[in-house]
Every structure is written in C-alpha cells, then in structure tokens.
Amino acid sequence: MPAPAQRPAPAQPSASCRPLLQPLQRKLRRYFGFSRRETSGFVLLLLLMVLWLWLPTLLRPALPHYNPSPDQQRLNSWAAELAARRTTQPRFGPRTPRRSYAARPRVPQVALAPFNPNTFSALDWQARGLPAWLAERLVKYKNVVGGFKAKEQIRKAYGLSDTTYARLAPYIQLPEQLPPREAAAYARPQSGRYPDRQPFEATSGRFARKPARLAAFDVNTADTTQLMQIRGIGRGYARRVVEYRQRLGGFLREDQLTEIYALRDAPDLVDSLRKYTFVAPGFAPELLDVNNASFEVLQAHPYVGKRLARVLVAFRQQHGPFHQPTDLRQIRLLDAATLEKLAPYLMLR
C-alpha cells in the first residue's frame, strides 16, 4: 500500500526576519486565536498588500524638470504678433459721416420789459431766457398764424413750459384771449343766376321710416321685410330669426326667440319681437324623423347638434329604430330638458 503523499511545508520567513516577526506572530495568535500556520499566512498576506500599495511609487518614471521659459517666450511672441496685426488692420468708420455743427453764439441776457412778440426774432427770444430751439419754433409759429393776436396763442406753443410762460406773460403786450369770431354773411344767390338748378326739396332718408303703430303678425309666416318693421330689428337680426325658424321647424312658443344666439344679449329686442309677433294656435311644426333622417339633417336641428346626431345614428344602427319618444332616454348624452324641448318635433315611423 503506497504511503500517503505528504503536503509541502508552508514557506517560512527567512532567519533574519524571524526575530522581528515572532513577537507579531505571537500577539496575533493570542488575539485572534490563530494557529502557527495561519499566523504566518496572515503576516505574509499583510506584507504583500503593503508591497502592492508601494509598487506604483517604485515603478513610476522620474519626470523631468519643467522649465516654463521657452513656452512663455513663445506666448509673448504670439501676443506681439496679434497686437501688430490689430494695429495694421484698417478701422472702418461710420457709413454716414458725422455732421459738424458750428457752436452757437452765446446771447447776452436782458432784463424783462414790456414787448410785442410779433417784432421779436429768435435772438430776441433767446435774450429773454428761452433756448435756441424754442425761440426758432416761436418765430415759425408766428409766421404760420400770421402774427400773434393773443397771449393764449403763445401759451399753446409746443415746448413752452408753464413756468416760462408765467414769467413772460406780464410783459407781453397782447390781449389774454382771441376776439370772438363774427358770423360770416353770405349773399343769397340770385334766382336768375343759375337757371338750371332746381330748388332744394326735402327727400326721404336712405332708410325707410318704421311705422309707429304696428299690428301683431304671425312669427312663423313672417319674412325679413315684415320683421324689419319692428324698431331695433334690422336686416341682420331679421335674417337670423328666419334662419333659426327654418332650422327649428317653426316656433311653438314666443320664448324660443331667446334661443337665437344674436338675441341673447339683447333682451329689449326680444321683448319687441314678443310684443309684435305671435304663434298661431294649432300650429304644426315641421317634424324631424330621427329613424330615417341622415346625419346632416339631424345635426342641423338646434336641439340636436353634431355630437348628439352622431350618437343617434350610431344607436339606431346598433339597436334598431326608436318606437316612442321615451326610447331616447337610453342615450345618456340627451338630458331631460333637451328631450322635453325636442319631443314636439319628433316623428317616429
């Protein structure tokens, strides 16, 4: 029977390191309860870790000493070259040459005394403390109006402040206000001077005068001309009333006039329509066939609209025709108030 293979003995530290490591191994064994072999392996692992941390410092190549003088000289040469280019490039001046204005002469000031502004020049106004631009404006203003006739004309000059006018007003030799205008007398033309002309005759206005007393008429048979006889109802309002009546199929009550969009913000016009119109008793409106009408016909009705018309068409295609008006309650989009208004216009067949 062959002898069992013996394990190789663990590497032992050299004899020179043993005196240094033995106290450390002894303390480790006592603290951690390691065996001799475990203590030796731990110490070896610790040495390898220290060597691994120190290895980059050993393998790092020595960097040469950096001398910044050559780089600084190169940067200085580039800066000098850029400065030379900037000075040699032509500078572009403004496209429009600047105007040179001559310096205005200084006008000596004089003490205020009564004066006539119609005889003043621009220098005279400047001598009374006004700037040059305002003095020239007053001279131009005087020439345009043909001479100042009252102080209020000077007071209305643009740019003249109230304080400046209050300082000059006591010395201006003009009345405070302009004289009232006199009515111009026009000579009546002679009758024989223009024989071709006809004498003036009062003509009627562009719009016909509406009657003061108007008899009530049927709103379902009236046209736009008859509706326009009511005060406040013009061509546009009359056309909207007729269009809404055609879409609705006829009015059953006078309060349906308030549903017209153009009359919602005009209660006085609605009152006028109610005053001069009526619904004939026994009037039969034009009915709406919800089982056979197309989407275009349904959505044109004021009480249906596009959204409800789309749902009605889809519902009758899926569930069949409606048999009575209460069947429309199955549509959640149709509320009770709308169904009550729509019921007199429904036709189910």
Angle, in degrees to the nearest 10, between helices 18-32 and 36-59: 120
Q: Please say if the pLDDT value at position 29 is more than 70.
A: yes
Give yes or no: residues 293 and 247 share one domain: no
> For residue 60, is it within any domain?
no
Q: What percent of the chain has pLDDT over 70?
A: 81
CB 273 within 8 A of CB 257: yes
Nearest residue to 119 via CA among 156, 173, 169, 65:
173
Q: How confident is the model at residue 56 (pLDDT cuts 50, 70, 90)?
A: confident
> What is the rounded average pLDDT of the residues 278-300?
90
Q: Please say if the pLDDT value at position 15 is more than 80.
A: no
Q: What percent of the chain has pLDDT over 90?
A: 18
Give alpha helix (H) positions in 189-348.
224-227, 235-248, 267-276, 295-300, 305-319, 336-342
CB 129 within 8 A of CB 107: no
Give yes or no: residues 272 and 236 share one domain: yes
> For residue 338, is it within any domain?
yes
> For residue 250, is it within any domain?
yes
- pLDDT tens-digit profile of 227-255? 998 888 889 999 999 999 999 999 998 88
Nearest residue to 330 via CA among 285, 297, 290, 288:
290
The count of domains in the chain is 4
> For residue 34, is it within any domain?
yes
CB atoms within 10 A of CB 345: 19
Q: How far is CA 78 from CA 68, 69, 74, in A?
A: 16, 14, 6
> For residue 68, is it within any domain?
no
> What is the rounded average pLDDT of the residues 9-37?
67
Give yes or no: residues 225 and 267 share one domain: yes
Q: Helix count (H) and strand count (E) of the chain? A: 13, 4
Rounded Cα gap, residues 69 and 133, in angstroms = 65
Q: Please say if the pLDDT value at position 51 is more than 60.
A: yes
Q: Over the chain, what is the mean pLDDT?
A: 81
Q: How far is CA 236 from CA 224, 225, 242, 266, in A?
A: 9, 11, 10, 14
> For residue 178, is it within any domain?
no
Give yes or no: residues 320 and 273 share one domain: no
- pLDDT tens-digit profile of 76-95? 999 999 888 887 656 666 66
- pLDDT tens-digit profile of 251-283? 998 888 888 988 888 888 888 888 889 999 888
Of the two residues 70 and 189, the one the predictor is more confident about is 70
Which residues span the domain enclosing 121? 117-171
> For residue 7, is it within any domain?
no
Q: Please say if the pLDDT value at position 12 is more than 80.
A: no
Angle among Cα 135, 139, 140 to the nearest 5 degrees reads: 115
Rounded Cα gap, residues 196 and 120, in angstroms = 55
Among 278, 300, 326, residue at a domain's last position: 278
Nearest residue to 339 via CA among 324, 329, 349:
329
Give yes or no: residues 162 and 125 share one domain: yes
> For residue 199, is it within any domain?
no
